[in-house]
Structure 1
Amino acid sequence: MNTPKLAVYKLASCDGCQLTLLDCEDELLALAGRVDIAHFLEASSAVTGGPYDLALVEGSVTTERDAERVREIRAAARRLVTIGACATAGGIQALRNFADVEEYRRVVYAHPEYISSLATSTPVSDHVQVDFELRGCPIDKRQLLEVITAFLAGRKPDVPNHSVCFECKRRGAVCVMVAEGKPCLGPVTHAGCGALCPAYGRGCYGCFGPSGSVNLPALIPVLRSDGLDDAAVERLLTTFNAAAFAKEQDR
């Protein structure tokens, strides 16, 4: 029986989600015994050609070359999974989607004519078919291992689609919105972090993106009642998953 081949790719990103895979340490050693890690430049310069049974893609599409690469990756992979806020929602760099990129280019670069980029930063799923999206900035290593194991075993990943509020209840964390009147995106944010921020008395800031049951029209008035004006609410929603939350607001 042939050993399944795993490939890991990077587009426009900070490498944090790939580092999450490397941070699995003991689990990664066990995984390496079951799969052929054929392409993972963050870990090794040794590369084995495709086709690949599973490809993990970190990063958003910000250039024409990125768009070409995701099509090449899709063609070489039996299953394609995007990992992290950049690959699933455009990332923090998607703030360009709400601004004049040409003006940025003129102001920031001495020779803007040498800079080639798209006017938008978009998720991989805007360009090719994606088999699964694993959210987070960065992703959670337990969820990552579950996704890899599930696809190699031929089953659906057991990754919940509910909000961070569920994780707060399971962890026994006091609701910072109810008890302290602090702004929190937990009710509309995808679970996966283990309610890390609320457990330490800080409101969730949405690093895992929108959950499967988002109700922003109900949450925004609550945020305003906690003392935020319209500009502050907008700032709260325009971070790692700005483009994804903007889509939810437009619905």
Structure 2
Amino acid sequence: MSSVPTLAVFKLASCDGCQLTLLDCEDELLALAGEVRISHFLEASSAVAPGPYDLALVEGSVTTAADVERVREIRARSRRLVTIGACATAGGIQALRNFADVEEFTRAVYARPDHIDALATSTPVSDHVRVDFELRGCPVDRAQLLEVITAHLAGRAPDIPDHSVCFACKRRGIVCVTVAHGTPCLGPVTHAGCGALCPAYGRGCYGCFGPSGSPNLRALIPLLHRDGMDDRAVERLLRTFNASAFDKEVRS
């Protein structure tokens, strides 16, 4: 293996937002590029190397049989594999198919649904291969992404907090939108990382970063009912960017 660490970035089913977050690092990315050899990153360059890779970042969920085989190949060529974003860590918004009939969707959308080769579910990468770390977010936070990359290349554990958005609100001195205004908010059960962006503007958290380390959804749901949401509204609130992950927490 080369003395210069190699970095690869791969995409499965996703919107590319997490890869764009890496490109948006600008000056930090230039510094990073001086410390590693970027061997595969099609969002940035068509030049690729076959591996092996010291660190692979994977964006996107597994939605086809080809995705399953591809992620297994990436795992086999990567010393460390890190999934980035809600799609790769929880199946993404496309995991809404998990609660319905995917064949019905394809018949409604495509003129020739027989041309569509898709799995019945959208699943996180960790359902198929061993993952060394999961970085949550839709999209991921650039500072957290840089921390994960530098930590893995340095051989240490990433320093990513596992507390909820409520903790971030307290640190920023943001008035609780639920307590003050009765606004439904997923902050108590959502992984921190966004800097409490929505509550800072008086809006409830939408759960972009998925469930926190120890979410208590069974306690939160009655509060959402108290704030005027019926069962259908609560279901819609939970079934967005991290639909599959929140559903697992509800059923656990």
TM range (shorter): over 0.9
* SS at structure 2 position matched to 1:210: coil
CA distance in 2, matches of 1:65, 1:46: 22
Once the two structures are superposed, residues 183-238 of structure 1 have per-residue CA deviations (whole angstroms, 9 ceiling, x without a partner) of 00000000000000001100000000000011001000001111111111111000
1:88: how far off?
A: 0.1
Give runs of ≥4 in structure 1 deviating > 6 Å.
none
In 1, Cα distance between the equivalents of 2:147 and 2:39?
20
Alignment map for 1:74-89 (pairs within 5 Å): 74-89=75-90
Deviation at 1:112, TM superposition (A): 1.0
SS in 2 for 1:56: strand
1: CA distance, partners of 2:189 / 2:105: 31
Shift of 1:107: 1.6
Q: TM-score when scaled to structure 2? A: 0.99
Gaps of 5+ in 2: none
C-alpha separation in 2, matches of 1:176 and 1:207: 17
**Which consecutive unaligned segments of at least 5 residues does structure 1 have?**
none
Query: What displacement does 1:48 show?
Result: 1.3
RMSD over aligned Cα, in angstroms?
Answer: 0.6
Note the 1:151-166 alignment, pairs <5 A. 151-166=152-167
2:50 and 2:230 map into 1 onto residues whose CA distance is: 53
Partner-residue secondary structure (3-state), 2:111: coil
Q: Secondary structure at the match of 2:38?
A: strand
- Aligned counterpart, 2:140: 139
SS at 1:38 equivalent: strand
Using the alignment, how far apart are the partners of 1:108 and 1:24 within structure 2?
36
Tell me how far 1:109 sits from its aligned partner. Answer: 1.0
Where does residue 46 of structure 2 map in the other structure? 45
1:107-161 CA-to-partner distances (Å, cap 9, x unmatched) read: 2111111110000000000000000000000000000000000000000000001
Match of 2:172 in 1: 171
1:72 alignment partner in structure 2? 73
Instruction: Find the aligned partners of 1:17 and 1:105 in 2 and give their Cα distance.
Output: 26
Q: Which residue of 1 aligns with 2:183?
A: 182
TM-score, normalised on structure 1? 0.99
What is the aligned partner in structure 2 of residue 245 from structure 1?
A: 246
Could you say what secondary structure the match of 2:149 adopts?
A: helix
Shift of 1:49: 1.7
Q: Does 1:209 align with 2:198?
A: no
